[in-house]
C-alpha cells in the first residue's frame, strides 16, 4: 500500500468528516495535539458557527479547545469535499448512524454518501478511518467500495477506530481514553494510527490492534453491555418496589464488588441519548441478518425494562396526583437525556414530560441548557426560565435529569412556590430525608416510601 503519503513518512494533515459531538471533539483535540486539521460538514450553518469559534451544541470544555485550534491556525472548517480530499493524508469519518425510521436497523445513508463523495476525489495514497458506530461487516464492504471508487485505487486504505466518548465528558474521554482500538488491514495503517494517538499511548492508554470486524464489534458490544447493566439495576428496582427494598443501597452494595463495579449501575429513569438505545436495536437487527438473533434476544428485554421505567415514572406521578393527570399542573426539572448535555435524542425525561401532557396535564419544564432543543421537538410543553419558575403552582414536581443544580435544590425554597409538596425523583438523585422533613411526599423509582 502507498501509505503514508508525506515525504518523511509522517502524517500532518488530517480531515474530520462530520462535525457532531464526536467529530468536533476529535478535530479540536487533533489540532491541539499539533496536526493541521480540516473539519468538513455538509451543514453550512454548523461550519459557519464552528469557524467563528461557536459550538452548535453544548459540551463542557470544548469551546476553549475549538478556539485555541482556530487561533493557532491549525484548525479550520469547510463544507467542501474537494477541499477535504485535497487537504488530508488521513481522513476520519465521524458522521451519524441513527436508527432507521420504522426499523431497528441503523440508517447508514450519511456514511455511504460521505464515503462516495470523498472516495471519488481521493487521487493519492491515504488512509480513511471510520469512527462512526456501524453494524459489524460494514467496514469490510466500505473498504472494497473505496478501492473501487477512488482514483488512487488500492492505495486508499480503510481502517476502523471506534470512539467511546461520553457526551458531557467528551473532552476528557478523548484526551484520556480507556483504550484505543485500531481495526486495520495493514501494518502501515497501524503505524499511522499509532502516530495519531502517540500522546495517549505514551500516557498509558492500551492500543489494541484488531481486524475490521472485531473493531466494529468492540463498540456495539460495549454499548450493549452498558445498556444491559443499566437495565439490570432497573430490573432490580422493579423487584425492590414490590418488596419495599431500596435499590440505591442495593446498587451501592453491588458496585463495591470489583467483579461488578459501580459504573453504569445507577438506577432511575433509564438510558436514552443518541447511542445506547439505537445501538442495541441495530445490534439486534444485525444479529438477525447474520442468523444469530437468539444470541442477542436478551437485548429485547434490556430495551423493554428500559422503556418500562418511563411508564412507571408516569404511574408514580399519577398516584401522587390522586389518580388522574388530567388538569394537573406538573413541574419538570430536566429534559436532556443526561446532565451536562443539551442532547434530547431519545431523552427519557422529555418522553415522560410529553406523555404527561398527552394525558391531560399542564406541563412546565426547565433545563439548564436543553430548552432550545426541547422546544423545537415539543412545542406543546410550557418552558420556564428557572427551576423555581417551572415548579411554581405545581401539583407534582418531577426530577428527570440529575443536573447538579437540581441535586442542590432547597426543599424549602421549592416548597414555597409549589401548590403541593409532591416530588418524584426519577434519577434517585436526592436525599429523601430533608425533603420529607420539609413536608414533601417523596417518591422515587425502586425506593421504599
166 scored as a contact of ligand UDX (CB under 6 A): yes
The residue (of 184 and 350) whose beta carbon lies closer to ligand UDX is 350
- Tell me which stretch binds ligand UDX (CB under 6 A): 73-81, 159-167, 313-321, 365-373: 159-167
Residue 11, Cα to own-chain centre: how many angstroms?
29
Least separation in angstroms between CB 405 and ligand UDX: 16
Count of chain residues binding ligand UDX (CB under 6 A): 20
Burial class (CB in 10 A: 0-12, 13-18, 19+), 118: buried
List the one residue from 16, 114, 128, 165 that touches ligand UDX (CB under 6 A): 165
Judged by beta carbon, residue 45 or residue 208, the one nearer ligand UDX is 208
Q: At its nearest, how many Å lie between ligand UDX and the CB of residue 346?
A: 8
- Nearest Cα neighbor of 401 from 350, 362, 359, 325 is 350
Q: How far apart are CA 204 and CA 200, in angstroms?
A: 6
Binders in 79-138 for ligand UDX, by CB under 6 A: none
Residues contacting 341, CB < 8 A, separation 6+: 58, 59, 167, 168, 273, 369, 370
Q: Name beta bridge partners: 332.
A: 365, 398
Query: SS3 for 365?
Result: strand
Which pairs count as long-range contacts for 110-118, CB under 8 Å and 24+ apart, including other chains? 110/18, 111/138, 111/142, 114/17, 114/18, 115/142, 115/145, 115/146, 116/149, 117/81, 118/17, 118/81, 118/84, 118/85, 118/91, 118/93
Q: Give whichever of 65 and 275 is closer to ligand UDX, judged by the CB atom.
A: 275
The 344-383 contact track toward ligand UDX, x by CB under 6 A, reads: ----------------------------------------
Q: Is 76 helix (H, G, I), strand (E, B) or coil?
A: strand
Closer to ligand UDX by CB, 283 or 440: give it.
283
Identify residues 283-342 at the interface with ligand UDX (CB under 6 A): 337-338
Residue whose CB is less far from ligand UDX, 47 or 215: 215
State whether residue 171 is helix, strand or coil: helix
> What φ, ψ does residue 381 adopt, rounded to 5°?
-85, 160
Q: Which residue, 23, 116, 120, 113, is CA-closest to 77?
A: 23
The rounded distance, in Å, linking the Cα atoms of 146 and 430 is 52
Catalytic (active site) residue 275:
yes
We find the least distance from the C-beta atom of residue 30 to ligand UDX, in angstroms, to be 18
Output the nine-digit C-alpha cell for 438: 420539609
**What one-character-per-residue DSSP string does 203-255 give?**
TT--EEEE-HHHHHHHHHHHHHHHHHHHHHHHHHHHHHHHHT--HHHHHHHHH
CA dihedral 226, 232, 233, 234 (to 10 degrees): 100
Catalytic residue among 114, 126, 240, 275: 275
- Using rule CB under 6 A, residue 171 touches ligand UDX: no
Candidates 55-63, 139-147, 160-168, 362-370; binding stretch for ligand UDX (CB under 6 A): 160-168
Considering only residues 26 through 85, tell me which ones interact with ligand UDX, judged by CB under 6 A. Answer: none
Site pattern 227..246 for ligand UDX (x: CB under 6 A): ---x----------------
Task: Out of 50, 142, 226, 299, name the contact with ligand UDX by CB under 6 A.
Answer: 226
Mark residues 244-283: x for contact with ligand UDX by CB under 6 A, - for none: --------------------xxx-x-xxxx-xx-------
Q: Which stretch binds ligand UDX (CB under 6 A): 222-230, 290-298, 428-436, 439-447?
A: 222-230
Site for ligand UDX, rule CB under 6 A: 163-167, 223, 226, 230, 264-266, 268, 270-273, 275-276, 337-338
Q: Which residues are catalytic?
A: 275
Amino acid at each position: 500500500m502507498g501509505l503514508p503519503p508525506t515525504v518523511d513518512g509522517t502524517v500532518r494533515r488530517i480531515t474530520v468528516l462530520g462535525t457532531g459531538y464526536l467529530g468536533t471533539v476529535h478535530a479540536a483535540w487533533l489540532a491541539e495535539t499539533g496536526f493541521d486539521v480540516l473539519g468538513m460538514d455538509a451543514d453550512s450553518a454548523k461550519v459557519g458557527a464552528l469557524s467563528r469559534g461557536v459550538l452548535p451544541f453544548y459540551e463542557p470544555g470544548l469551546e476553549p479547545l475549538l478556539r485555541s485550534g482556530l487561533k493557532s491556525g491549525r484548525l479550520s472548517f469547510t463544507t467542501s469535499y474537494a477541499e477535504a480530499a485535497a487537504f488530508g493524508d488521513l481522513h476520519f469519518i465521524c458522521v451519524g448512524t441513527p436508527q432507521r425510521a420504522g426499523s431497528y436497523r441503523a440508517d447508514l445513508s450519511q456514511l455511504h454518501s460521505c464515503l462516495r463523495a470523498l472516495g471519488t476525489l481521493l487521487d493519492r495514497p491515504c488512509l480513511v478511518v471510520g469512527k462512526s458506530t456501524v453494524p459489524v461487516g460494514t467496514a469490510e464492504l466500505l473498504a472494497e467500495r473505496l478501492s473501487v471508487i477512488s482514483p488512487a485505487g488500492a492505495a486508499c486504505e480503510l481502517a476502523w477506530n471506534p470512539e467511546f466518548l461520553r457526551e458531557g465528558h467528551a473532552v476528557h474521554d478523548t484526551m484520556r481514553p480507556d483504550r484505543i482500538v485500531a481495526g486495520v488491514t495493514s501494518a502501515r495503517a497501524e503505524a499511522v494510527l499509532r502516530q495519531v494517538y502517540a500522546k495517549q499511548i505514551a500516557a498509558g492508554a492500551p492500543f489494541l490492534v484488531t481486524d475490521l470486524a472485531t473493531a466494529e464489534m468492540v463498540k456495539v458490544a460495549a454499548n450493549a453491555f452498558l445498556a444491559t447493566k443499566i437495565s439490570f439495576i432497573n430490573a432490580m428496582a422493579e423487584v425492590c418496589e414490590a418488596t419495599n427494598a431500596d435499590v440505591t443501597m442495593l446498587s451501592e452494595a453491588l458496585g463495591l464488588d470489583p467483579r461488578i463495579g459501580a459504573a453504569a449501575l445507577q438506577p432511575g429513569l433509564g438510558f436514552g441519548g443518541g447511542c445506547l438505545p439505537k445501538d442495541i436495536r441495530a445490534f439486534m437487527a444485525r444479529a438477525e441478518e447474520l442468523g444469530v438473533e437468539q444470541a442477542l434476544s436478551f437485548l429485547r428485554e434490556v430495551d423493554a425494562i428500559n422503556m418500562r421505567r418511563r411508564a412507571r415514572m408516569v404511574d408514580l406521578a399519577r398516584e401522587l396526583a390522586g389518580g388522574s393527570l388530567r388538569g394537573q399542573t406538573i413541574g419538570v426539572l430536566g429534559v436532556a437525556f443526561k446532565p451536562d448535555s443539551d442532547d434530547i435524542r431519545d431523552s427519557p425525561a422529555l418522553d415522560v414530560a410529553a406523555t404527561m401532557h398527552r394525558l391531560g396535564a399542564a406541563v412546565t419544564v426547565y433545563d439548564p441548557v436543553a430548552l432550545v432543543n426541547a422546544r423545537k421537538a415539543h412545542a406543546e410543553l410550557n418552558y420556564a426560565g428557572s427551576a423555581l419558575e417551572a415548579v411554581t403552582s405545581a401539583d407534582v414536581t418531577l426530577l428527570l435529569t440529575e443536573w447538579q443544580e437540581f441535586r442542590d435544590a432547597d426543599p424549602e425554597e421549592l416548597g414555597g412556590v409549589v401548590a403541593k409538596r409532591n416530588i418524584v425523583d426519577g434519577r434517585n438523585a436526592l436525599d429523601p430525608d430533608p425533603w420529607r422533613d420539609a413536608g414533601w411526599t417523596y417518591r422515587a423509582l425502586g425506593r421504599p416510601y
